[in-house]
Amino acid sequence: MLRELRYSSLFRETIRRALQEDIGQGDITSFLIIPEEREAGARLIAKEDFILAGMPFVEEVFRAIDPEVRVTVHMPEGFALRRGDIIAEIAGRARSLLAGERVSLNILQRISGIATLTHSFVGQVEGLPVRIADTRKTVPGMRLMEKYGVRTGGGTNHRFGLFDGILIKDNHIEVAGGVKEAVLRARKGHHLLKVEVEVKDMDEVRDALDAGADIIMLDNMSLIVMAEAVRFVQGRALLEASGNVSLTTVRSIAETGVDIISVGALTHSARAADISMKIRHGS
């Protein structure tokens, strides 16, 4: 995934927009008080325990600001950091380091927080044949980064957007006239992608299976009904559990026998990791 990121136009555009938002026409404070030729060094330091994710984005931030800035990364992506660990060292023009400080920290803290929360969910279902997946509940403009954080934390990416996966939700079903009708239309209209459909009860599970759904999303179902759905489907379709999943409930959900558990909280409720950037005069 790292190689794909580095050559992605979306990867570079995401960073460009973030820098434009923060720097705009320039860092006024640094221009006024820091000589242009002044060199400096900096360290990224973990201030708590967490899973590291997002250094490729940090490197791109400084590369976009000043190609002469040198970033030396000491810890691999996905590594379980401890408080006090030095993540990376950065050297170059002081103005460049200061210009990239906040954007790089914002990204690294958020993506590491997502990886850390994902790692916790994955740990809760250890030993069970189930995947922890993300959703589209991401911060606008940060989806690529946030889904990268989920992968780094050991989770699985669901579809990236509306364009790369067929997922028939409740509002689609309402407009289409029912689960079976919606699935049949999707299967007839597109033969290359798998068809997933969201259902709310066992009647809709039966309709989805009859219509040939590849994946059935069990939305906000009780553990008893989910287990019943697993027994009924008997592997004829993948089953995904969704809705009200937490660290305290995820293992019980996994024990019903579902194949996938999607967790919106991985991206919409992850707490940012605590990381500091300490700059010192001279590199």
Q: Catalytic residues, which ones?
A: 102, 137, 169, 198, 219
CA neighbours within 13 Å on the CB side: how many for 262?
22
* Residue with the two structure tokens 């916790």: 120
Phi-psi region of 46 (alpha: psi -120 to 50; beta: other; left: phi over 0): beta
End-to-end CA distance of the chain: 32
- Distances, alpha carbon 141 to alpha carbons 101, 122, 160, 228, in Å: 19, 26, 12, 39
Provide the pairing of β-strand 260-262 with 238-242: parallel
